[in-house]
Structure 1
Amino acid sequence: MSLMSSLYIGVSGLRTSQNSLNTTAHNLANVGTTGYVRQQVVQSDSRYIKWGVTHLSTLQSGLGVDIETVRQVRDVFLDKAYRQEVGRQGFYEVQYEAVQEVESMYGELEGVAFQNSMSDLWTSLQELSKTPSLIETRSTVVQNAESFLERAEAIQDQLKKYQINLNTQIQDKVDRVNEIADEIYNLNNKISRYESNGLEHANDLRDERNNLLDELGQIISITYKEDSNGVVTVNAEGVPLVTESNTFEMGTAKVSDSSDLLKPVWTDFNNADVFNLENEATSKNDTDVGSLKGLLVCRGDDTANYTDMLLSQDEYNSTINTSVIMTVQAQFDQLIHGVVTAINDILCPNKEITLADGTKMTVLDEENAPAGMDSNHTMGEALFERKSMERYETVNVMVKVVDPITGAVTSEPKTVKKYNAEDKDNNYSLYTLGELEINKDIKSNYSLIPISSNAGTGDVDQKVAEALVTKWKEPFATISPNTLTKNNFSDYYTSFIGELATRGEELNSISTNQATLASNIDDQRQQVAGVSSDEELTNLIKFQHAYNASSRYINVIDEMLEHIISTLGR
C-alpha cells in the first residue's frame, strides 16, 4: 500500500471520529428534551484492496473506516406496546373524570346532598299524616315538594348540559387527530426527501413523528408501518388516516336529526361512523383504546329516562349501562318517577272500568278517592303534575252494568274523570324530569290537597294519611335490571350513589393501573432510547482518543513522506 493511500486511511479516521463527536455532542445537548431519542454512529470497514489469494486466506488491505449510518436507538415493539396501553389509559381516564363530575352534582361530598331534599319531603309527609288540617303543615309539604322537584330538575339539567358539553371535548379531539395526521404527512415528505440520497438520516424529524404517534395513540386506536422510503402509513380504527399520498379527514355529525349530540365520522368515506359502539369495549378484543372513544362511551348517544329501566337485561346492558351519564339519568329519573307517582296515586287513586263496548278505561276512583278540605271537597288534585298534560279529563261514556240478581247486562251513561296514561313514546305524557311541576291550584290553595274523607264530614281519611307514611318505606324498584332486590326510596338513593361511587372506583383503578403500566413501558423505552450523560461523556472521551490517534497516524505518515522526499533529494 502506498503512503498516499495510508494518508486516506488516517483522514477517514479523522472524519469518522469527528462525526461521532458531533453526534455525541448532539445527544448531550438534548439530554433533557422530551421525546428525543439518542443517536448512535455505526462504523464499518471501508473498501479493501485485494492483493492475491492463498490456500489459507485472501490477501487484502483496508482503506480505512466509514460511517455506515447514524441510527436512532429505540425499540419498535416497546413503542407499539406503549401507544396501545396509553390509549387504554385514556379510554378509562376520561370516564372516571365523568363520574367525578356527576358525583359532584349530587353534592354528597359538599354538604348539599340531594338526600336532604328527600328527607325534608319525607318529614313533611309524616307531619301531614299527623296534623292534616293545619294549613302550615300543608304549606310545608308543598314547599318541600317544590324544593325536592327543583333540586331534582337542576341535577338532571346539569347532566344534560354536561352531556352536551362533552361535544366540545369530542370536537377538540377530532380536530387534533386531523392536525396530527397532517403533521405526520408533512414529516413523511420531509423525511423521504432528506433521506433520498441514501446517506443522511432525518433522526430529529423522526423524533417529531414518533411523538405525534404517541399522542395519536392516546386519542384513538392506531396501527402503522414504515416503508423503505421512511414513509409511515397510519390506520385509525382500521381505516386509513395517513397514506403515502394523502390524509383522510375525520369530522363530526349529529347522532340523529333531533339530537344535539355529536359523533365522529369519516368525511372522506361518506360520513361513516368512526366507532362501532355496538361491540362491547373489552381489553380482550382491544376495543377499549383511545380517549375519544372513552368520551363517546361515557356520554352515550341519547338522553335516558325511567322508561329505559324497563328494557330487558340484555338491551339495558348494551344501550344504557355502558354509558356513565345515561345510566345515572335513567336510575335517577326512576327514583323521581317513583316518588311522584307514589304520592299522586295515594292522593288520586285510579281504577279500571269496563265500557259498553267491552273496552277498558282507567279513571279516578271517586268512591275511594280522598277529597280536599275546601268547601267543594274537590277530588283528583294530584300534588305533582305534567306540564303539558292534565292528569284527568272529564268525559261522558257508556259503561257496562251487570244486574247482581238477574245477571242481565245493560249500559248506562256516566261522567268520569279519565286518566291520561303515560306513553313511553310520548315524552309529554310521562312523569319524568323536565315535564314535572307542582299543581298550580294546590300552590295557590293548600286546602285542595286531598287527604280528607270524601263523605263530606271533613274528617281525615286515615287510610290515605297512613299510606303516605308507609309507602315511603315500601320497596318500589330495583336499582337496575341486573339486580333482583327492590329498594324503598331512601335505600334506592343510597344504592344509587353507592353504585356510582363503585363504578368510579373501578374506572379509577383501571386507569391508574394502565397509567402505571404505560409508565413502566415508557421507562423501558427510555432505558433504550434515552440519553445517559455518563454514557455519552464516555463516548466523547472514546471518540476524542480515536480522533487523536488518527491525527498521530497522519503525522507518522507525513514524517515518513518527508523523510523519503528529503532522502531522494540528496
Structure 2
Amino acid sequence: MSLMANLYVGTSGLQTSQNALNTTAHNMANMDTEGYTRQQVSQGTRAYQTLEQKYDIIAWKQIGTGVNYNNCKQVRSDFLDISYRQESGRYAFYDVSLKALEEIEDQLQEMEGSEFADSLNNLWVSVQEMAKDPCSAVTQSSFVTRANEFLTRAKSVYDGLVSYQENLDSTVKGMVENINEYGDRIRQLNEDIVEIESGRQEKANDLRDERNLLLDKLAEYGKIEYSEDTFGNVTVLFEGSSFVTTDHVNHIGIDVTLESSVGYATPYWEYAAKTVDNKDGTKTVVSIDGAHIFDLTQNISTTNNTDIGKLRAVLLARGDHNGSYHDIVEDENYYNSNISKSVIMNVQAEFDQMIHNIMTTINDIMEKAESNPAFIDGSVGEAKDFTLFVCANESDKLTYDISDDKPAGTVPTGFTIKNTQINPKLIQEPTLFTYRTVDGNEDNDTTTKLKEAFTKEQYTLNPNVTTRNSFITYYNSLVSQVANSGDVYDSIKEAQQQTVDSVNAAREQIVGVSSDEELEFMIMFQNAYNASSRFISVVSEMLEHLVTSLG
C-alpha cells in the first residue's frame, strides 16, 4: 500500500474516533434525561486490499484500508420493554383502585368532623329511651330529632360519594385527551423517523427515545401491543383494537348522553360509532354499540390482563350511575356483572340499602301500630301519612324505574336516600304520634318492635355475602368491607410496585448511562484519536523525507 493510501487509513481512524467521542459526550450530557437510551458506536473494517491470492494457503495476503463507522445504535431490550409497560400499566390500575377505596373509607368514617356512625347510634339510643317511656313528649321529640339527624347525615355521606364519583368522571376526559395526543405524536414520530432513516446513513435515536417514552406513558392508561416494521414505523393496538397505524390514528371519543343517565363520560372508538350526516357537514353520533373500548363486565383477572391501565380502573371505580338499593335487590346476575366491580356504586348501593331497610322497617311498624292516629280517628286509609319517613315529592310515590339494562318489568322506586325526608307533620309536631292506644294505654308493643328491629340480624351487604347483620352492626360491616378490600389492593399494589421496580432496574442496566463506563469509553476513543493522529504524522514525515531526499 502506498504512503498516500496510509493517510486515508489514518483519516478513517480520526473520523471514527471523533464520532465515537461525540456519541460518548452525548450520552454524558443526557445522563439524567427522562427516556434517554444509551447510544453505542458500532465500528467495522473497511474493505481489504488483496495483494496475493493462493488457494493452497488458509488466508490470502491482504492489507487493511482503515476503520469504518457503521452506525450509532440504541442499547435496548425488547423483552424488558414489553414487560415493563405491561407491569407499569397493572400497577397504575391498582394504584387508582386503592386511592378510590381510601377516599370512600374517608367518606364513610368522617363527615365534617363527625362520624356517620354517631348519628346511627343516637337513633338507636332514642329508640331505647322511647321504649322506657313511650308517651313522654321528650322521648318522642328526641326520636324524631335523631331520625332527622340520621337522614341528614346519610344524605351527606351519599352526596359525598356522588361528588367523588363526579370527580373521577372529570378525569376521564383528560385521560382520553392524553391518549389521543400520544397517538398523534407517535404517528408523527413514525413519519420523521422513516424520513431520516430512509437514506440508511444515520439512526434517528433521539426521536426513537421520545417514541419509546410515549409508549411507556401510553401503557399506563391501558393494555397496549405494538410492533415495528422494516421501515421504522411502530403500529400500536390499544385494548386489542387498532390505535396507531402507519398513516393515521384512530381517535377515542367521549359520549356523555347515549350511555349514562347521569351524563358520565363513556370512551368509545370514533371510527366504529354509528353517525348521521348533518346539513353543515358535521356528523352526529347516534349509537356507540360495538364501539366500546372496554367490556367492564369482565372479571378482573391478571391471567386475562383485565387489570391493566388507569383508564379502566377509573371507569370501574366510578361506574355508570349513582347506585341505590335496587341494584342489589332486583337481580343477582345484574349486581355481579355491573355493580360489584365498581367500588363506588357497590358502596352506594349497600349504604342506600341500609338506609332503605331502616326507613321501611320503622314505617311498617308505625303503619301497623295500634297507636297510629289513623286507627284512632278511623281514617285507616291515611295511615301512611303518620309514618316517620315520607317521599320528598308527591310524584315520587308513582315513579317507576324502567331501564334497558335491567330485568324486564316495573319496579317501584321505594324509599331511597335521595327521595326521602322526615314527615313534615312530625317535624312540626313530634308528639302527633302519641304511642298511646285507643284505650289510653302506652303502646309498648310498638316500641318493643322498634327495639327488636334494630337488633334483629337478617340483613346482608350484598348477594355474595352470607353474614347477616342488624341495623347496629350493618354499617360497621360496610366500613370493614371497604377497609379489607383496601388492604387487599394495598398488598397487590406493593407487590406490583416491587415487580415494576425490578423490571425497571433490569432495563436501566441496559438503557441507562453509567458515568464511569462512559468515561472509560471517552479515554479509549481519545487514545484511539491520538494514535490515528500520530499515525498520520509519521506517514506525513515519511512522505516529506522521501520528497526531500528525491527532490
Q: What is the TM-score normalised by the length of structure 1?
A: 0.87
Conserved in 2, the CA contact under 8 Å of 1:374 and 1:447? Answer: no
* Aligned match for 2:80, one of 57, 78, 81: 78
Which residue of structure 2 lines up, in the alignment, with residue 26 of structure 1? 26
> What is the CA distance between 1:37 and its match in structure 2?
0.9
SS of equivalent residue, structure 1 residue 219: coil
SS of equivalent residue, structure 2 residue 44: strand
Which residue of structure 1 lines up, in the alignment, with residue 528 of structure 2? 546
Deviations 1:69-106 (A, max 9, x none): 10111111111100000001111111111111111112
Instruction: Tell me, in whole angstroms, the C-alpha distance in 2 between the residues paired with 1:463 and 1:375.
Output: 16
Q: In the alignment, does 2:429 pair up with 1:445?
A: yes
SS of equivalent residue, structure 2 residue 390: strand
Which residue of structure 2 lines up, in the alignment, with residue 388 of structure 1? 393
Which residue of structure 1 lines up, in the alignment, with residue 548 of structure 2? 566
Conserved in 2, the CA contact under 8 Å of 1:373 and 1:450? Answer: no
Which residue of structure 1 lines up, in the alignment, with residue 247 of structure 2? 245
Conserved in 1, the CA contact under 8 Å of 2:190 and 2:234? Answer: yes
* Aligned match for 2:414, one of 430, 435, 447: 430
* Aligned match for 1:133, one of 111, 132, 135: 135
Q: In the alignment, does 2:455 pair up with 1:469?
A: no
Instruction: Tell me, in whole angstroms, the C-alpha distance in 1 between the residues paired with 2:330 and 2:510.
Output: 53
Deviations 1:138-177 (A, max 9, x none): 1111111011001111111222222222221111000000
Change (3 A) 1:130 1:502: same
Conserved in 1, the CA contact under 8 Å of 2:129 and 2:139? Answer: yes
Change (3 A) 1:458 1:429: farther
Conserved in 2, the CA contact under 8 Å of 1:21 and 1:544? Answer: yes
Instruction: Tell me, in whole angstroms, the C-alpha distance in 1 between the residues paired with 2:375 and 2:342.
Output: 48
Q: In the alignment, does 2:234 pair up with 1:232?
A: yes
SS of equivalent residue, structure 1 residue 67: strand
Which residue of structure 1 lines up, in the alignment, with residue 510 of structure 2? 528
Which residue of structure 1 lines up, in the alignment, with residue 224 of structure 2? 222
Deviations 1:111-162 (A, max 9, x none): 5111000001111111111122222221111111011001111111222222
SS of equivalent residue, structure 2 residue 320: coil
Instruction: Tell me, in whole angstroms, the C-alpha distance in 2 between the residues paired with 1:525 and 1:377.
Output: 83
> What is the CA distance between 1:4 and its match in structure 2?
1.2
Instruction: Tell me, in whole angstroms, the C-alpha distance in 2 between the residues paired with 1:48 and 1:234.
Output: 44
| Greater Cα radius of gyration, structure 1 or 2 | 1
Change (3 A) 1:328 1:314: same
Change (3 A) 1:440 1:109: closer
* Aligned match for 1:118, one of 117, 120, 129: 120
Which residue of structure 2 lines up, in the alignment, with residue 320 of structure 1? 339
Conserved in 2, the CA contact under 8 Å of 1:389 and 1:429? Answer: no
**Structure 2 residue ranges without an equivalent (≥5):** 274-287, 403-409
Q: In the alignment, does 2:486 pair up with 1:504?
A: yes
Change (3 A) 1:429 1:198: closer
- The RMSD of aligned alpha carbons is 2.1
Paired AA for residue 18 in structure 2: Q
After TM superposition, the structure 1 stretch with the greater mean CA deviation from structure 2, 490-499 or 378-387, is 378-387
Conserved in 2, the CA contact under 8 Å of 1:304 and 1:329? Answer: yes
Which residue of structure 2 lines up, in the alignment, with residue 371 of structure 1? 372
SS of equivalent residue, structure 1 residue 452: coil
SS of equivalent residue, structure 2 residue 109: coil
Instruction: Tell me, in whole angstroms, the C-alpha distance in 2 between the residues paired with 1:533 and 1:257.
Output: 55
Which residue of structure 1 lines up, in the alignment, with residue 178 of structure 2? 176
Instruction: Tell me, in whole angstroms, the C-alpha distance in 2 between the residues paired with 1:471 and 1:536.
Output: 77
Which residue of structure 1 lines up, in the alignment, with residue 305 of structure 2? 286
SS of equivalent residue, structure 2 residue 220: helix
Which residue of structure 2 lines up, in the alignment, with residue 59 of structure 1? 61
> What is the CA distance between 1:220 and its match in structure 2?
1.4
Conserved in 1, the CA contact under 8 Å of 2:327 and 2:334? Answer: no
Query: What are the equivalent positions in structure 2 for 1:187-202 lying under 5 Å apart?
Result: 187-202=189-204
**Structure 1 residue ranges without an equivalent (≥5):** 350-367, 392-419
Conserved in 2, the CA contact under 8 Å of 1:378 and 1:450? Answer: no
* Aligned match for 1:295, one of 308, 314, 329: 314
Pairs aligned (count): 521
> What is the CA distance between 1:489 and its match in structure 2?
0.9
> What is the CA distance between 1:374 and its match in structure 2?
12
Paired AA for residue 326 in structure 2: T
Change (3 A) 1:554 1:179: same
Conserved in 2, the CA contact under 8 Å of 1:92 and 1:511? Answer: yes
Conserved in 2, the CA contact under 8 Å of 1:373 and 1:449? Answer: no
Which residue of structure 2 lines up, in the alignment, with residue 310 of structure 1? 329
> What is the CA distance between 1:427 and its match in structure 2?
7.4
Deviations 1:266-324 (A, max 9, x none): 11222411112222221101121110011111111222211222255443222211110
Paired AA for residue 18 in structure 1: Q
Instruction: Tell me, in whole angstroms, the C-alpha distance in 1 between the residues paired with 2:161 and 2:98.
Output: 15
Paired AA for residue 47 in structure 1: A
Instruction: Tell me, in whole angstroms, the C-alpha distance in 2 between the residues paired with 1:423 and 1:461.
Output: 36
Conserved in 2, the CA contact under 8 Å of 1:43 and 1:67? Answer: yes
SS of equivalent residue, structure 2 residue 80: helix
Conserved in 2, the CA contact under 8 Å of 1:253 and 1:264? Answer: yes
Q: In the alignment, does 2:64 pair up with 1:45?
A: no
Change (3 A) 1:182 1:328: same
Instruction: Tell me, in whole angstroms, the C-alpha distance in 1 between the residues paired with 2:270 and 2:78.
Output: 31
After TM superposition, the structure 1 stretch with the greater mean CA deviation from structure 2, 262-271 or 523-532, is 262-271
Conserved in 1, the CA contact under 8 Å of 2:371 and 2:436? Answer: yes
Instruction: Tell me, in whole angstroms, the C-alpha distance in 2 between the residues paired with 1:148 and 1:110.
Output: 14
Instruction: Tell me, in whole angstroms, the C-alpha distance in 2 between the residues paired with 1:3 and 1:121.
Output: 106
Instruction: Tell me, in whole angstroms, the C-alpha distance in 2 between the residues paired with 1:260 and 1:422.
Output: 20
Change (3 A) 1:193 1:34: same
Q: What is the TM-score normalised by the length of structure 2?
A: 0.90
Instruction: Tell me, in whole angstroms, the C-alpha distance in 1 between the residues paired with 2:165 and 2:456.
Output: 33
After TM superposition, the structure 1 stretch with the greater mean CA deviation from structure 2, 517-526 or 310-319, is 310-319
Which residue of structure 1 lines up, in the alignment, with residue 17 of structure 2? 17
Which residue of structure 1 lines up, in the alignment, with residue 259 of structure 2? 256
Paired AA for residue 65 in structure 1: V
Instruction: Tell me, in whole angstroms, the C-alpha distance in 2 between the residues paired with 1:371 and 1:328.
Output: 35
Change (3 A) 1:237 1:106: same
Conserved in 2, the CA contact under 8 Å of 1:164 and 1:260? Answer: no
SS of equivalent residue, structure 1 residue 99: helix
> What is the CA distance between 1:373 and its match in structure 2?
11
Conserved in 1, the CA contact under 8 Å of 2:268 and 2:293? Answer: yes
Change (3 A) 1:250 1:146: same
Which residue of structure 2 lines up, in the alignment, with residue 489 of structure 1? 471
Instruction: Tell me, in whole angstroms, the C-alpha distance in 1 between the residues paired with 2:434 and 2:467.
Output: 32
Deviations 1:442-466 (A, max 9, x none): 111222225221xx22221111121
Instruction: Tell me, in whole angstroms, the C-alpha distance in 2 between the residues paired with 1:326 and 1:178.
Output: 28
Which has a greater percent of helix? 2
> What is the CA distance between 1:423 and its match in structure 2?
6.2
Instruction: Tell me, in whole angstroms, the C-alpha distance in 2 between the residues paired with 1:25 and 1:552.
Output: 23
SS of equivalent residue, structure 1 residue 200: coil
Conserved in 2, the CA contact under 8 Å of 1:340 and 1:384? Answer: yes
Q: In the alignment, does 2:348 pair up with 1:329?
A: yes
* Aligned match for 1:89, one of 85, 88, 91: 91
Fraction of identical pairs, as percent: 40
* Aligned match for 1:276, one of 279, 288, 295: 295
Which has a greater percent of strand? 1
